[in-house]
Amino acid sequence: MIRDSHESKLAPAQTSARRFIRADDVLSERFTPAEARRLDLKYGNEELLYGLDLLDLAGPFYRVTPWELEDERGVRRINASGYAAVPFGDMPPVITEFVQEFMEKNRAMALPQQSSSPWRAALQTNLVSLLARELPSHADDQVFFCSSGTEAIEGAMKFAKAWRPRAKYFISFGSGYHGKTYGSLSLTPNPEYQDVFRPLVPGALTSPYGNLDALRTLIRRVGPDNVVAVVVEPIQGEGGVNIPPPGFLKGLGELCQRHGIVVIADEIQTGLGRTGHWFESAAQGLDPDIITLAKPLGGGMVAVGATIVRHPIYKKMLGGLSSKRHSNTFGGGALAMAVGLKSLEYLTDNDFPARSLHLGEQGLARLQALQRRFPKLFETVRGQGMLFAMQFQPMVGLPLPGLLKELVFEATAILALREIHQARVMANLSLSSKRVVRLSPALDMPQELFSEMFDRIERFAQMNSSSRHLLTNTPASMTAQLAAFAASKPKKRTPSDG
Ligand SMILES: Cc1ncc(COP(=O)(O)O)c(C=O)c1O
C-alpha cells in the first residue's frame, strides 16, 4: 500500500475526522469560502489550487448576475472564463427556471439506460436536424450521448476503428487538444500531458495543423488503407485559438474521402455558436463523418457530450447483437438531456451563433486596436466569434535556451492572467499553448457588459503597456513564492490564508 511520505502542514484539528458537511451548510454559505478553499486544497488537486491561490485566483467565486461573479471580498468581475463551456453565463435563469419546472413535472425515468427516453429522443432528433440543415448528407445520422468531451472523443475513435478494423493509425494535429483519457490523450500531442503515460494507444500520429501537403505526405507514407481516421478541430481552442488557412479543412475532407478515411470533427469547443457558426467544420467546407460536441450543450450547468455519427458507421459498431459494444451508465440521463434540449432551444430561438459572429468581429477589432497601441505587450491577438486569444510578448528579453524560454512564456501568460483578473475580468489560460490567455464570454452577454469587458482589458493594457510591467507590477513577495513553487517538487501545501 502506498502511503504519503510527507506530513501535512495543516493543523491537527483540521486533519482529524471532521463533522459531516451537510448540503445545507454549503447552500446557506455557512461553509465559508476560506474553509472551502482549505479543504479543496487538502483533499483535491492541491498543486493546481495552491498555484491559483498564490496568484489570488483560487476563489471560490459566487454568482452576482449570470455574467458576473464576485469573490469573498465582494470584488465583482466579468466572467470570460469557463473554457468555452458556459454559453449563457453562470446558472442562467433560462436553464435554472426550466430545471425547477423539470424537477416538479418530469415523470420520465431519470436514468433510462435500457429503455426509450423522450428527452433523449428529442435531443438527438434536434441535433441531427440541426446538422442536416447545414450538411444534408447527415439526415440519417445517429447520436451516442456521454458525459464529457473526452468521452465523446473516445466514442468517436471506437466508431471509426470499428468501421475500418484493419487500419491502425489515427492522425491528429500539432497543438491539438482532444481530452485526457487514454484514447483522446493519445491524440493530444502535448508532452506535458502524454509523457508519463507512455506507451499510449498505439498508432497515434501527428501532422502539423493547417498544412495540407504535410497531411498528404503522411497519409501516403503510412498508406491510406492503414489510416483509421483524421481527427481535427476546425479551429484549435486549447492550442490558443488557431484558425487554419482557407481551404485546409475542405482539402482535408476531399483527401480523406478519396481514401475512405473517417473524418472526425472535434467541435467540442467550436460547435453550437462559439466561433460564430452552428458547426465550424461545415462553415469551412468540411463534411465530416463523425462530429463530437460537449461543452455548451450542458448549458454551463450539467455534463453532456455527444458523438454524432453517420448511419452506416454507427451501425457497424452498434448494429445487431453488438448494440452494447459501447455504452455508459449516465449518458442520455433525463436531466442532462433536458438541459441539453433547453440549451439548444435557447441557442436556436435567439440565433446565438449569428450574434457570436457579429459581436466577435467587434471584440476582435478592439483587441487588434490594443495590439497596435501596445505592441510591447501583445505579440498577436486572434479570434473568431466569441473566442478570443491574446498572445503576449515574453516579459524577459530573448534569446533564451529552449526550456527557459518556455518557462518565460508560461510565466508571462500567468502574470497576465492575474493582471487581467485585477482589472476585473476572469479569463483562461490555454491547455495546449503556454503563451495565450483566452476570453470566451457567454454568447448572450449583454452588449454593454461585452463592451465594458474590453474597456477593462484596455485598462489592463494601460497598466502593463509593456510585458516587462507584468513582472514589475507583481508584488515581489508573490513573484518569489511563485518562483519557489515553480522550482519545487510536489508536496503538501498550506493555502495562503491557512
Ligand atoms: C476541442 C476539445 N476537445 C475535447 C475536449 C475535452 O473535453 P472535456 O474537458 O469535457 O473532457 C476539449 C476541452 O477543452 C476541447 O476543447
Lowest mean pLDDT across 13-27, 271-285, 387-401, 418-432? 13-27
CATH for 221: 3.40.640.10
CATH for 440: 3.90.1150.10
SS3 sequence of the chain: CCCCCCCCCCCHHHHCCCCCCCHHHHHCCCCCHHHHHHHHHHHCCHHHHHHHHHCCCCCCCEEEECCEEECCCCCEEEECCCCCCCCCCCCCHHHHHHHHHHHHHCCCCCCCCCCCCHHHHHHHHHHHHHHHHHCHHHCCCEEEEECCHHHHHHHHHHHHHHHCCCCCEEEEECCCCCCCCHHHHHCCCCHHHHHHHCCCCCCEEEECCCCHHHHHHHHHHHCHHHEEEEEECCCECCCCCECCCCCHHHHHHHHHHHHCCEEEEECCCCCCCCCCCCCHHHHCCCCCCEEEECHHHHCCCCCCEEEEECHHHHHHHHCHHHCCCCCCCCCCCHHHHHHHHHHHHHHHHCCHHHHHHHHHHHHHHHHHHHHHHCCCCEEEEEEECCEEEEEECCCCCCCCCHHHHHHHHHHHHHHHHHHHHHCCEECEEECCEEEEEEECCCCCCCHHHHHHHHHHHHHHHHHCCCCHHHHHCCCHHHHHHHHHHHHCCCCCCCCCCC
pLDDT of residue 2: 53
Q: Is the CB of residue 178 below 6 angstroms from any atom belonging to ligand 1?
A: yes
Q: Cβ neighbours of residue 491 under 8 Å, at least 6 residues apart? A: 6
Place of cell 483533499: 43
**42 and 136 co-located in one domain:** no
Q: Is the CB of residue 148 below 6 angstroms from any atom belonging to ligand 1?
A: yes
Give the distance (Å) from ligand 1 centre to CA of residue 238.
8
Other C-beta atoms lying within 10 Å of the C-beta of residue 338 = 27
Of residues 495 and 145, more confidently modeled: 145
Give the distance (Å) from ligand 1 centre to CA of residue 156.
13
Other C-beta atoms lying within 10 Å of the C-beta of residue 250 = 15
When pLDDT is averaged across residues 189-217 and rounded to a whole number, the result is 96
When pLDDT is averaged across residues 6-12 and rounded to a whole number, the result is 39
Q: What amino acid is encoded at 128 in this protein? A: V
Q: Which of 303, 331, 349 is the last residue of a domain?
A: 349
Give the distance (Å) from ligand 1 centre to CA of residue 346.
22
Q: Which atom of ligand 1 is nearest to the CA of 267?
A: 1
267 in Cβ contact with 279 (< 8 Å): yes
Q: Which of 150, 185, 187 to mutate to test the pocket of ligand 1 (most atoms within 8 A of CB)?
A: 150
pLDDT of residue 240: 96
Q: Which of 238, 243, 302 to mutate to test the pocket of ligand 1 (most atoms within 8 A of CB)?
A: 238
pLDDT of residue 494: 44
Of residues 5 and 412, more confidently modeled: 412
Neighbour-count burial of 463, counting CB atoms closer than 10 A to its CB (0-12 exposed, 13-18 middle, 19+ buried): middle
- What does each C-alpha distance from 299 to 95, 303, 313 come to in angstroms? 7, 9, 29
pLDDT of residue 16: 56
pLDDT of residue 397: 78
Residue 134 confidence (pLDDT) above 70: yes
Is position 98 within any domain?
A: no
When pLDDT is averaged across residues 81-96 and rounded to a whole number, the result is 97
Is position 477 within any domain?
A: yes
pLDDT of residue 19: 85
**153 and 289 co-located in one domain:** yes
Q: Of 51, 87, 47, nearest to 350 (Cα)?
A: 87
Question: Domain containing 220: what range?
Answer: 106-349
Residue 495 confidence (pLDDT) above 50: no
pLDDT of residue 5: 41
Q: Cα 229 to the chain's mean position, in Å? A: 22
- The string of pLDDT tens digits covering residues 224-267 is 999 999 999 999 999 999 999 999 999 999 999 999 999 999 99
Q: Is the CB of residue 237 below 6 angstroms from any atom belonging to ligand 1?
A: yes
Lowest mean pLDDT across 301-305, 369-373, 473-477? 473-477
Of residues 324 and 406, more confidently modeled: 324
Is position 194 within any domain?
A: yes
Of residues 482 and 138, more confidently modeled: 138
| Total domains in the fold of the chain | 2
- The string of pLDDT tens digits covering residues 299-341 is 999 999 999 999 999 999 999 999 999 999 999 999 999 999 9
Q: Which of 349, 377, 393 is the last residue of a domain?
A: 349
Q: Which of 241, 269, 297, 330 to mutate to test the pocket of ligand 1 (most atoms within 8 A of CB)?
A: 269
Q: Which atom of ligand 1 is nearest to the CA of 184?
A: 4
Q: Of 209, 214, 200, 250, nearest to 232 (Cα)?
A: 209
Torsions phi, psi of 494, nearest 5?
-105, 145
When pLDDT is averaged across residues 134-158 and rounded to a whole number, the result is 98
pLDDT of residue 401: 74
When pLDDT is averaged across residues 421-445 and rounded to a whole number, the result is 95
Place of cell 491539438: 176
Is position 1 within any domain?
A: no
Q: Is the dihedral of CA 451, 456, 459, 465 positive or negative?
A: negative
Give the distance (Å) from ligand 1 centre to CA of residue 196.
20
Closest-CA residue, ligand 1 atom 16, reads: 269
Is position 4 within any domain?
A: no
Is position 497 within any domain?
A: no
Is position 182 within any domain?
A: yes
When pLDDT is averaged across residues 184-191 and rounded to a whole number, the result is 96
When pLDDT is averaged across residues 8-23 and rounded to a whole number, the result is 62
Torsions phi, psi of 179, nearest 5?
125, 180
Q: Of 232, 187, 238, nearest to 431 (Cα)?
A: 238
Edge to edge, the sheet with strand 290-293 lists 142-146, 305-309, 290-293, 262-266, 227-232, 169-173, 204-207
Residue 7 confidence (pLDDT) above 70: no
**204 and 164 co-located in one domain:** yes
Q: Which of 325, 349, 373 is the last residue of a domain?
A: 349
Residue 490 confidence (pLDDT) above 60: no
What is the pLDDT of the chain when averaged over all its residues?
93
**55 and 114 co-located in one domain:** no
Is position 50 within any domain?
A: yes
496: confidence class by pLDDT, cuts 50, 70, 90: very low
pLDDT of residue 392: 96
Q: Cβ neighbours of residue 12 under 8 Å, at least 6 residues apart? A: none
17: confidence class by pLDDT, cuts 50, 70, 90: low
Lowest mean pLDDT across 43-52, 210-219, 376-385, 446-455? 43-52
**360 and 331 co-located in one domain:** no
- Give the Cα separation of 441 and 79 in Å (integer): 6
**335 and 369 co-located in one domain:** no
